[in-house]
Structure 1
Amino acid sequence: MAPTVERKNIDLAPLKAAKVPIFFIVGGPGSGKGTQCDKIVAKYGLTHLSSGDLLRDEVKSGSPRGSQLTAIMESGALVPLEVVLDLVKEAMLKAIEKGSKGFLIDGYPREVAQGQQFESEIQEAKLVLFFDVAEDTLVKRLLHRAQTSGRADDNIDTIKKRLHTFVTSTAPVVDYYESKGKLVRINAEGSVDDIFGVVVANLDKVTSKI
């Protein structure tokens, strides 16, 4: 049986009272999510949170919860959705204290249940930005990156596995939010500035709070 992680009792009142917009950012590895998130943060003053980064930071911190997470991952089990959500909540509360105007939740949700749980416990996302890139383009971009990154996971076999995992797990998420009228499908094959122009047009439409 996989190790468990004790959940914390988190008071979300300050976050809910702030009523700031939340955007989910979805896209395959190599889709340019990170570049676009940097540009969105610079223009709108939103806080960019990556659930993967939060998980890695918690493990590195050496906290009791970090040790429990390490044990789960070493056992080959998946970290429970609730625990990832707790890390996201805590990071959002810290950002609200500093006056955040809203959030980009990057690489999230990875499955429909994760998005539903987030929206039921925190608040609904304003939009889901899906950076849509053909699989062939993603492979080319990741192989190009591999020439300089030195990352062990940037080789052709691993890249194809990662893309397959992304496509199979994310397709239901894309379909779910599209059916709710919340998905913005952005063709992310063009130049960085062209793609950002589409992002801005969509963000400007949905909120006057930014």
Structure 2
Amino acid sequence: MANVKADPGSVPAEPSPPQTSQNTTPRFSSSAVSVVFLLGGPGSGKGTQSTNLVRDYGFIHLSAGDLLRAEQARPGSQYGDLIKSYIREGTIVPMEITVALLSNAMADALEKQSLSASESAGKKARFLIDGFPRKLDQAVFFEDTVCLSEFTLFLNCPEDVMETRLLKRGETSGRDDDNAESIRKRFRVFVDTSMPVVHAFEKQGKVVSVEATGSVEEVYAHVKEGIEARGIHPV
């Protein structure tokens, strides 16, 4: 499988949120689709490790942040200014918008790859969802309405290391949130809202935790060891 990037043109004019979990079943069956969440603080290396995992394990990579930025920039989006404001302040976009964008991107990717429960010959489509869920209610809403996750890959990295990486990236990224003030806000938001997601999945035995310091190669070796122990093998 190839890495499927978000295509702003493929997003419906106004993404319709999934139904509430009170009156629906998940859109995708976990018997046909494998979802791995990738979490870590800002600058923990999620993008770099995602590239490696796509290359070696056939994941379809979806970045919640990339999808939101694409929707923010899409002409005519009623959510564009709202998303921009949330991203600039380092706070979390309403989950209905994020989950709708992810769900639609998964459907688009499956259509492009001609993958379905009947066509995949027993092989699951693998999705690596990067930077999501950022809150516990997002995790519950996604699993109730889109698909159950197999596990969460958590990149554990000290804040001083992440800040150094982000400030360096900010020299060339052009991103509004790659500055010291926004970075520190994002750290606080991650600790306060995203770490409870990690802890909740840990209680379910659904977390692979990796120390994200050292070289890219060293971190990736630990990532491979962790996910292969969960039955994810190279393609």
TM-score normalised by the chain length of structure 2: 0.75
Tell me the CA shift for residue 40 of structure 1. Answer: 0.1
Whether the 8 Å contact between 1:14 and 1:96 is mirrored in structure 2 is: no
Q: Closer, same or farther in 2 for the Cα pair 1:167/1:74, shift >3 Å? A: closer
Q: CA deviation digits over 1:20-75, x for unaligned, max 9?
A: 21100101111111000000000011111011211222233325xx22x1254478
Q: Does 1:7 align with 2:16?
A: yes
Tell me the CA shift for residue 94 of structure 1. Answer: 1.4
Q: Does 1:26 align with 2:39?
A: yes
Amino acid at match of 1:7: S
Q: Does 1:80 align with 2:94?
A: yes
Instruction: Supply the RMSD in Å over aligned alpha carbons.
Output: 2.9
2:73 pairs with one of 54, 60, 72:
60
Query: How far, CA to CA, are the matches of 1:167 and 1:192 in structure 2?
Result: 23
Equivalent position of 1:140 in the other structure: 164
Query: How far, CA to CA, are the matches of 1:156 and 1:8 in structure 2?
Result: 33
Q: Does 1:91 align with 2:115?
A: no
Query: How far, CA to CA, are the matches of 2:65 and 2:84 in structure 1?
Result: 16
Query: How far, CA to CA, are the matches of 2:209 and 2:229 in structure 1?
Result: 15
Q: Going by fraction, where is helix more abundant, 1 or 2?
A: 1
Taking the TM superposition and a 5 Å limit, the aligned residue runs for 1:183-194 are 183-194=207-218
Query: How far, CA to CA, are the matches of 1:157 and 1:125 in structure 2?
Result: 33
2:52 pairs with one of 39, 47, 58:
39
Equivalent position of 1:121 in the other structure: 145
Query: Sequence identity of aligned pairs in percent?
Result: 37
Query: How far, CA to CA, are the matches of 1:70 and 1:145 in structure 2?
Result: 24
Whether the 8 Å contact between 2:38 and 2:152 is mirrored in structure 1 is: yes
Query: How far, CA to CA, are the matches of 2:143 and 2:201 in structure 1?
Result: 12
Whether the 8 Å contact between 1:20 and 1:102 is mirrored in structure 2 is: yes
Q: CA deviation digits over 1:158-198, x for unaligned, max 9?
A: 32222122221212111111111111111000211111111
TM-score normalised by the chain length of structure 1: 0.83
SS at match of 1:21: strand
Unaligned runs of 5+ in 2: 1-13, 116-124
SS at match of 1:190: coil
Query: How far, CA to CA, are the matches of 2:54 and 2:85 in structure 1?
Result: 36
Amino acid at match of 1:143: L
Amino acid at match of 2:221: G
Query: How far, CA to CA, are the matches of 1:132 and 1:190 in structure 2?
Result: 12
What is the aligned length?
203
Whether the 8 Å contact between 1:72 and 1:78 is mirrored in structure 2 is: no
Q: Closer, same or farther in 2 for the Cα pair 1:7/1:153, shift >3 Å? A: closer
Q: Closer, same or farther in 2 for the Cα pair 1:125/1:75, shift >3 Å? A: closer
Q: Closer, same or farther in 2 for the Cα pair 1:118/1:189, shift >3 Å? A: same
Query: How far, CA to CA, are the matches of 2:126 and 2:38 in structure 1?
Result: 13
Amino acid at match of 1:201: E
2:179 pairs with one of 143, 155, 158:
155
